[in-house]
Every structure is written in structure tokens, then in C-alpha cells.
Structure 1
Amino acid sequence: MGGLIKSSVAKKFAMALSGLFLVLFLGQHFVINFTSVISPDTFNELSHFMGTNFLVQALLQPILIFGVIFHFVMGFVLEIRNRNARAVNYVSYNGAANSSWMSRNMIWSGLAILAFLALHFYDFWVPELVHKYVQSHPEDATRYYGETIAKFESPVRTGLYVVAFVFLMLHLLHGFSSSFQSIGWNNKYSKGIRNFTVAYAIIIPLGFIFIALFHYINNL
């Protein structure tokens, strides 16, 4: 059992599960954010629920943070192991012939996403903690929309968000479909799963880019 846990297969399986969990959260996050384009009131209601619900704050949020940390740490561990393995077999290894550009550069797209998450936490999560627990403001269920669109007044910040979601798209184009392979979902539905993951990897990041540009243009 100990050897299984330490094996590359087990690590890839665990990383795949954490990746699928994060993809699920990404879709939910997109749905809520997209309502800011359609209905500010709906966006405020959903954001207020997510920001005040006990189960979300006390259970789901810590699990999400753990999932993010676990996924990136495991990614670095596997990348180091793969690089060491390639160093041993460097004579016969041809990365360009054996894998796609996206699969060979997952570590770089992952680092770009990690940098974006640091900015995103600084923009939204940290101010939310300060608002609720440091400054102890009274509850205001209508504040979320105004606080969100204010973040997209700056062309630099908006540009960083757009670039980050391009890297997210590149990361998902390989990572989402490979997650299903890592957990053993190679069957007659593989082509359908592949098509779905490609569509998801393109549509969701483009949707986030649209939201950022929409609010930036409206702020002009």
C-alpha cells in the first residue's frame, strides 16, 4: 500500500481527481460571475449566499483551498520526476515527437495560473476577509456587484486577467482530458469526453475573458 501511494500512477490519479474538482468549481464560479453581465441583482444574491453561507465558508472553502494547493504541489512533484526520468533517457527522448506543446509546457501554464490566483486572492478574497473580520462592517447584500466591476477599471489589471485566462485555456486543453485518462476512463465514450473537455477548455476561459472586457468597457 505504501508503495502504491508513492508511485507515479497513484500521484497522477490523485492529481487528476483534484484537477476535476477544480474544474467543477471553475464552472460554478463562471456561472455566478456571468450573472454580473446579465443581472446585477442576481449576482449580488448569489455572491451574498456564497459569502455568508456557513457550509460554503466553513467546509467548501477550506476544501477548495486545499485542492488548489494539493494540485499545484503534486504537479511540481510529477514535473520534477518526469524531468529526472528524461535526463536519464535523454538520448532517446524527443518531446516534440512524443507529446503536444501543451502537455510539455503544463508547468509553465500552471505557474502563470498560480500567479493569477495570487492576484485574484489579493483582489477579492483578502478584501472580503478584511471587510468581514477586520473592519467588521454590517452586512450589505448589494455591495458585491460594485466591488467586482471596480476591479476592471484598470486596463492593466484587465489585461492581466485576459492573459491569465488564455493560459488557463492552454492548461485545460491538455489537463482536463488527461485527467479522465489518469482515472481510467478510456472506453467507448472517450471521443465524446475528449470533445466535451476541449469545448469546456475553450468556452469557459473565453467566457471569463468576455466578463472582464465587458466590465472594463462599461467602466470607460
Structure 2
Amino acid sequence: MGGIKTSIARKVAMALSGLFLVLFLLQHFTINFTSVVSPDTFNEISHFMGTNFLVQAILQPILIFGVIFHFVMGFILEAKNRSARSVKYGVFKGNANSSWLSRNMLISGAVVLAFLGLHFYDFWVHEMQVKYLEGDLSGLNQAGEFRYYEETVAKFAGQPIRVGLYVLAFVFLMMHLLHGFASSFQTMGVNNKYSPAIKKFTKAFAIVIPLGFVFIAIFHFINN
């Protein structure tokens, strides 16, 4: 019985961390999308997020912990599931046993994790260097203007390989969310009259948000 409870606790922890990361993803997309609509707004929000004590000292460490926890827990659950299977499927029957997405969550998650490494290198590491190693908290470039928009655009303009990697990563993120987002609610025991609507919402979110990020990358690649 203790083993069952431990297994359920792991799945609930996995679901909660996933839902937390979904909220961050929505917030991150909202900010990034302003770079398409209004560079000035993007600069102002980026400067606020980059200099606000609450965001930097509390929310950012929580986010980093959430990312690490979610993916480590994913690998642990996969290892536990594999070791617990005493009987393997004798014949592959496609979706009769499980969907392709559910069987390959570890692969899609690993690709997303690799992308996060690139994303952290592109933006977070640079920010830490400018703010804490160089001691520049102004957020201004040499012309006295906020530097965030131009630095973001520079990552995509004339960078077809990087844009291609971003697009590929967000396709895998879409695949990961298509199964994982809806499964999180199921793990939390949400099974009522709202379940069909929740399923439709999670599916729409899983498609629209990653495609939104793809649009942002391609937009800056084409227009700059």
C-alpha cells in the first residue's frame, strides 16, 4: 500500500509541477508576443522583470527549481514504470495500448530540456553576465535606449539555424503538452462535467502557444 501511495504522490507532484510550468509558459509567451506588437512595451516589461527583486530573488529560483524538478521526476517515473512492467506488450498495437504521445513523453521532454539549455544560454546567461558580472542594471545600450528588444531580435535576424532549432523545439513542446497538459488534470482527479471542456482547452493551448512562439521567432527572422 505504501508503494501505491508513493507512486500516486510522484504522479501528483509531476502534475503540479507541470501545471506550474504551463502558467510560466503562458506568462513568457505573453511578454514575448509584445515584441511583435510593441517593442517599447516589450522593453519596459523586460526591464521590470529583469530588475524587480521579487521576480529575480524569489520567482526566478522557484522557476528554475520547478523546471529541474519536473524533468527529474519525469525520468524517475519513466524508470519506475519500466521496472514495474513484468509483462511487455507482445505485439505492438499502436493506440490500442497507448498513444504515441504518451509512450514518447520522455523523448519530447528531453528535446524540450535540451532547448531550454539553448534558451538559457541565449538569454539568461547573458543577462546574468551583464547585470551581475558587469554590474550594469540600467538595461540601456550605448545609445541610452533599452537593449532588450534589439538583443532579442539579434538572436533571430539572419540566424536560420537557430530559428530552425527553435521551431523544432516548439514542435516537440506541442507534442509534450498535447498529452501532458490534459493528463495533469486527470492525475489531479478532475473528472466531472467540465472535463470535456478542459480537454478541449488543454488541446487548444498545446497547439496555439507553441505555434505562437514559432511565429515570434519567424517574424523576427523575416522582418529584421
Residue pairs, 1:36-185, within 5 angstroms: 36-86=35-85, 88-90=86-88, 96=94, 97-140=96-139, 142-153=146-157, 154-185=159-190
Q: CA 1:77–1:215 in 2, change beyond 3 Å: closer, same or farther?
A: same
Superposition deviation, residue 137 in structure 1: 2.3
Superposition deviation, residue 140 in structure 1: 2.5
Deviations 1:3-30 (A, max 9, x none): 3796211100000000000000000000
Q: CA 1:95–1:116 in 2, change beyond 3 Å: closer, same or farther?
A: farther
Residue pairs, 1:22-33, within 5 angstroms: 22-33=21-32
Match of 1:214 in 2: 219
CA RMSD of aligned residues (A): 1.6
Distance 2:137 2:76 in 1: 44
Match of 2:204 in 1: 199
**Structure 1, unaligned stretches of length 5 or more?**
none
Superposition deviation, residue 83 in structure 1: 1.2
Superposition deviation, residue 186 in structure 1: 1.0
Distance 1:207 1:192 in 2: 22
Q: CA 1:95–1:121 in 2, change beyond 3 Å: closer, same or farther?
A: farther
Superposition deviation, residue 82 in structure 1: 1.1
Distance 1:108 1:138 in 2: 39
Distance 1:28 1:199 in 2: 16
SS of alignment partner, residue 156 of structure 2: coil
Opposite residue 151 of structure 1, the aligned amino acid is K
Distance 1:21 1:55 in 2: 17
Amino-acid identity (%): 70
Range moving further from structure 2, 109-118 or 136-145: 136-145
Distance 2:129 2:4 in 1: 39
TM-score, normalised relative to structure 1: 0.94
Distance 1:91 1:138 in 2: 57
**Structure 2, unaligned stretches of length 5 or more?**
141-145
Distance 1:131 1:35 in 2: 23
Contact 2:51–2:137, Cα closer than 8 Å, also in 1: no
Superposition deviation, residue 84 in structure 1: 1.4
Stretches of 4+ moved more than 2 A in 1? 3-6, 91-96
Distance 2:163 2:184 in 1: 30
Superposition deviation, residue 44 in structure 1: 0.4
Match of 2:143 in 1: none
